[in-house]
Structure 1
Amino acid sequence: MSVKQFTVEDLKRILREGSGADESVDLDGDILDADFEALGYESLAMLETGGRIEREYGITLDDTELTDARTPRTLVGVVNARLSAANLS
């Protein structure tokens, strides 16, 4: 069985759909290690993003995981770990 992976492209799409994009930020650039706040996404926007990820991917993200994931690379890793764990259950 193939495990669905969450990519940075998936994250960019969800960020744009949920909170839009700050015109001064290029989400199409290399954002993997950029801080979410520097990208214009504060805690409320990240909670919305987490909720969208949970609904779309059928996983549950702890609020602490969301607040500790300061960069897209970290959040993508957290989501993929949850997806892998869900597929093992």
Structure 2
Amino acid sequence: MNTTEITLTDLVATLRECAGEEESVDLDGAIDDRTFADLGYDSIALLETHARLADRHDLTLDDSELAELHTPAELLRYLNGVLAKGA
């Protein structure tokens, strides 16, 4: 897939595909700065999400950098930065 930006909507859809959604968490709300742990996603769910997004958008991601990203906003900044470098 050739895109110019990965959106929060794209990320939420991928999170739901890879790991579902906690009943107590509203992913349609303002989640940008909530931690993935607060949203109910563990490291395995995030690894699957990262892999799926990398595959879908033809990205090469640095696992050590991904481990330091704790919120959707941080992850989107990183992913879109990688995407911009490849464009």
TM-score (norm 2): 0.94
Partners of 1:40 and 1:34 in 2: CA distance: 10
1:40 paired with 2:40, answer yes
Deviation at 1:65, TM superposition (A): 2.0
Deviation at 1:16, TM superposition (A): 0.3
Deviation at 1:67, TM superposition (A): 1.2
Deviation at 1:43, TM superposition (A): 0.6
Could you tell me which runs of 5 or more consecutive residues in structure 2 were left unpaired when the two chains were aligned.
none
Could you tell me which runs of 5 or more consecutive residues in structure 1 were left unpaired when the two chains were aligned.
none
Q: Which residue identity lines up with residue 35 of structure 1 in the other structure?
A: T
For these two proteins, the number of residue pairs brought into alignment is 86
Question: Which residue is equivalent to 2:31?
Answer: 31
Percent identity between the two aligned chains: 44
Question: Which residue is equivalent to 1:70?
Answer: 70
Deviation at 1:39, TM superposition (A): 0.3
CA RMSD of aligned residues (A): 1.3
Runs of 4+ in 1 over 2 A off after TM superposition: none
Q: Which residue identity lines up with residue 42 of structure 1 in the other structure?
A: D
**Structure showing greater relative contact order (alpha-carbon pairs closer than 8 Å, 6 or more residues apart):** 2
